[in-house]
Structures are given as C-alpha cells and as structure tokens.
Amino acid sequence: MYKQTIFSRIISRKMLADILYQDHLVTAFRDIKPQAPIHIIIVTNKLIPTVNDVNARDEIALGRLFLMAAKIAKQESISDDGYRLIINCNHHGGQEIYHLHMHLLGGRPLGPLIT
C-alpha cells in the first residue's frame, strides 16, 4: 500500500476543495495555486504514484482523465482557444505530489512553456 497523499484526502472529502467532477475513477478540482486563469487538477482516485507505476488495469481510469479534461475545458469555455495538459513524472519531471494527476491549464496564451 502506498502512502496517502493530499489528493487522497481531497478524493475522500476529508479535505475541502473546489471539486468540479468526481466519479469512481477520477476527481477534478481547482488548483489552490493556479498557474493560469484556469488551472484544474484531474487525479486518479486509485493512488498510482507515477506514470512509471501504471499497469494495464489502469487503462480505463487514464482514459477518463483525458475525457474529463476535454469535458471540463469545454465547460470552462477554453476548448476553442486551446489549453495545455501536463503530467509530470518523478523529480526531474517536476512531480511534487506522488499521486498520478494531470494539470489542465488555460484561459490565456500559455506560450511554449509555463515558467
């Protein structure tokens, strides 16, 4: 069993968050330190530490991450102008919380990278 994360607490509703979507596979909520006007975290409910820990049983949940990203981008009115999806993996990839998650960012031109 992996160590529970702050995301685990949000998923279980033991920690408050602005949750936009939740089902049995994924949870989406607004980032508390947004890097763009729209910054939403979409996380697997199952604690998967990194992309390196994904296995075939996770395929449906990972597909749901992308489906929800597209749906939420449309709801937030950023789908037409565009948005960025980011998944970091491990220290050199910039991962800070070891619970697989995707950042959905938009609402302004993001340029080649977010700094």
The residue from 39, 92, 99, 101 that is catalytic is: 101
Residue 99 bears catalytic tag? no
For 58, half-sphere exposure in the C-beta direction (CA atoms, 13 angstrom radius) is: 18
Could you tell me where the beta strands, DSSP code E, fall in the chain? 19-22, 26-30, 38-44, 83-86, 101-106
Residues recognised as catalytic: 101
